[in-house]
A and B are shown apart, each in its own frame.
Chain A
Amino acid sequence: MRLLDLISALAMMALIALVVVATRDLAFWNGVFPGPRFLPLLLAGTTALLAIALFVSAVRGTGNRQPVDWPDRTGLARIGAFYLAAIGFGVIGSFLGFVTSAIVFLLFTMVVVLRRPIVPSLITTAVTSLIVYVIFIGWLDIRLPLGPFGF
């Protein structure tokens, strides 16, 4: 937990630095009114105080000392693959349409990532992608990307 607290505090400090640098061309004060940079700087300052507080408590070890519940290596690989599959859904969807991409995503995650038996996975995939098609595209006419096959 101490390491994660340190990382969180540092990540927030990095965010603050980004905000401060990226707003440098904006006005902090316009005449008698606060300008576009007013609130970002105010927030950055307050965040810095709290991030320092978190950092100090992590260094001194006064914060939460419960160990982090990390997954084992296979668990990590599993959620990593699952996460990449989610990104892949978007990438494939932009070329082949969301329905095709959904079929690929569902089958891949169920059979390959979660190691489910093939038949129930196929049934679940068929039902889920049918729902996507019927509700989103067929009925509600939401403009989801369509593939070369028209769905």
Chain B
Amino acid sequence: METLSLIGMGFGMVLTVPGLTAVVTGVLIGQIVGALPGIGPSTGMALLLPVTFGMDPALAIMMLSGILYGAMYGGSITAILINVPGDDSSVVCAIEGNKLARKGKAGHALAVAALSSFAAGVTGTIVLAFAAVALSAVALRFNAPEFFLLALLGISASASLGTGSVVKALLMGLFGLLIAMVGIDPIAGTTRLTFGFSQLLDGFDFLPVAIGVFGIAEILVSLERGGTMQPIVTRFRDTFLSAKDVAFCAMAAVRGFIVGFCMGMMPGAGSTVSSFLAYGVERKFSRRPEQFGHGALDAIATTEAANNASVTGAMTPMLTLGIPGSTGTAVLLAALILQGIRPGPTLMTDQPVLVWSLIASMFVGNVVLLILNLPMAPIFASILRIPYAYLAPGIVLFSLIGAYAVTLSFFTMGVAIAFGLIGYFMIKADLPRAPLVLALVLAPLLEESLRQSLLLSLGSPLIFVQRPFSLALLVVLLLVFLMPLVMSLRSRWKARST
């Protein structure tokens, strides 16, 4: 009851002219920076930080967080339409969504992305409002050993991400892991495989690699035939989802939400990891797993739900402990500090107006985003009516500028161009590209958490069975690995007995 009255107070703050202006401004900017490749929500938030100095703290936070979750909606648009991930967490959306767009189902994909983003955003906000404190206590029980097993679970999904040979899928996953070894060693602090280049100290940024192997490589393949590909026409009525589609995607979105929200609460995991993990999980549960990699609607539902849920998930440690769970929430915390508010475990009791206005604003912001995105889907989709030969150079241009913008240096642009060629070769050699990117995303988490675990246990691998959550995850992991084996043995045995 008390929570409800607090939320009521929050809505009282939001449903005013300045409140609504702040929310709408925030989500609009978020939508745009999310859609632009290479420019993520934190860039948009940093841009707006100076503007917020003179503002009321609650309004400032409402606006800045609008950018954060608005970007999750925006990222999927470019991913689906032009196969260039607008931000890190929409890579999966690019893999599956663009396949759908090429089948003339861009409207469907956009609508599913918007709806599942909305559902996850609103559900996440409700969970945040009612269970933030309890959840953050549980989340604290997750640490290095659990993260390691989660990362391992995610990597194990890479075997199934290919459309052909398992050996090739695994090989590409390992390729991604090996590339991820470049950079400063996270535990020892020494340089590794950098060959003296200071640009390599942080390793290969994953976004330029994804822009290269997906965006640029696919354009090279499509231009082989002279770019005479027919424009893809999306009819307006195609954007309306049938009840069957919605039912098909609903459970996928629920699973994506759970994975996303949980991963969002963990520092160091974030929206990209959660979108990939949800994709891997969904492949195990999907009723049509064979569609994965060829344009699966439920894959979009699950990853878009996951990345939106992870944003609200990351707000949990921020509001209850004052700890940033992601780069986006780090900017939010910085904004609070610049406003003279000290974030910490007492934030929710010390600053109830601020916290509950923020929560109320997330409801309102998600509604605004849905209103913005759902009817706009056919309009966005109409960009595909532009003949491909005029579209392709522009897509590559935006990819290159986006890759530059990631670190404001030519190095990341070079990485994107180089991986464009590698990606082209991979397409020709029938090597799947999703495992490569998945592994690159998960590798830092995998290595850091493995070595942290062994530091915590002073070298004893028993740490993975001594902790309750870790043990449970280990069991899940074993099941995932053993199930296909048991199944194939059983079918073989059955075949023999008949």
Contact = CB atoms under 8 A, between A and B. Distances in A.
Tell me if chain B binds chain A.
Answer: yes
Contacts of B219: 82
Nearest to B410: A90
Contact of B193 (A40, A87, A106, A144): A40
Interface string A15-59: 110010011001100111111111110011011001101100100
A109 B165 CA distance: 36
A36 B190 CA distance: 8
B177 interface: yes
A5 B425 CA distance: 11
Interface in B180-213: 181, 185, 187-188, 190, 192-193, 195
Contacts of B455: 33
B334 to A, nearest CB: 19
Given A70-B428, A121-B390, A141-B47, A26 B192 contact: yes
A124 B181 contact: no
Given A12-B171, A43-B181, A70-B428, A105 B410 contact: no
A57 B167 contact: yes
Contacts of B225: 71, 75
Interface stretch (B96-104, B247-255, B298-306, B401-409): B401-409
Contact of A33 (B44, B428, B430, B454): B454
Contact of A144 (B216, B404, B454): B404
B224 A78 contact: yes
B12 interface: no
Nearest to B174: A47
B385 to A, nearest CB: 13
Contacts of A120: 390
Majority secondary structure, B binding face: helix
Interface string B374-408: 00000000000000011011101110110011001
Contacts of B408: 142-143
B43 A142 contact: yes
Contacts of B164: 64
Interface in A74-91: 74-76, 78-79, 82-83, 86-87, 89-90
A75 B226 CA distance: 7
B451 interface: yes
Given A86-B396, A86-B417, A114-B389, A94 B192 contact: no
Interface residues of A, number: 73
Contact of A90 (B171, B188, B414): B414
Nearest to A132: B401
A64 B163 CA distance: 12
A132 B181 CA distance: 35
B291 to A, nearest CB: 21
A18 to B, nearest CB: 8
A87 B425 CA distance: 18
Contacts of B170: 50
Residue with the greatest number of chain A CB neighbours at <10 A, chosen from B174, B405, B421, B447:
B174
Contact of A142 (B39, B187, B428, B430): B39
Nearest to A16: B178
Given A19-B178, A39-B181, A54 B171 contact: yes
Given A33-B459, A144-B404, A8 B394 contact: no
A128 B220 contact: no
Interface in B326-358: none
Given A34-B454, A40-B181, A110 B393 contact: yes
Residue with the greatest number of chain A CB neighbours at <10 A, chosen from B175, B219, B425:
B175
A53 B166 CA distance: 11
Nearest to B38: A142
B420 interface: yes
B447 to A, nearest CB: 5
Contact of B429 (A8, A15, A105, A136): A8
Interface of A: 1, 4-5, 7-8, 12, 15-16, 19, 22-23, 26-27, 30-40, 43-44, 46-47, 50-51, 53-54, 57, 63-64, 66, 68-71, 74-76, 78-79, 82-83, 86-87, 89-90, 94, 98, 102, 105-106, 109-110, 114-116, 120-121, 124, 128, 132, 135-136, 140-144
Given A109-B392, A144-B401, 10 more contacts: A32-B458, A35-B188, A36-B192, A75-B223, A78-B226, A83-B421, A90-B410, A116-B389, A136-B39, A142-B408
Closest 3 CB pairs of A and B: A32-B459, A71-B224, A36-B185
23 contacts: A8-B168, A19-B178, A19-B181, A22-B193, A22-B195, A23-B192, A26-B190, A31-B459, A33-B454, A34-B451, A38-B451, A39-B447, A44-B178, A46-B174, A47-B174, A54-B171, A70-B428, A82-B220, A89-B397, A90-B400, A106-B393, A110-B389, A132-B401
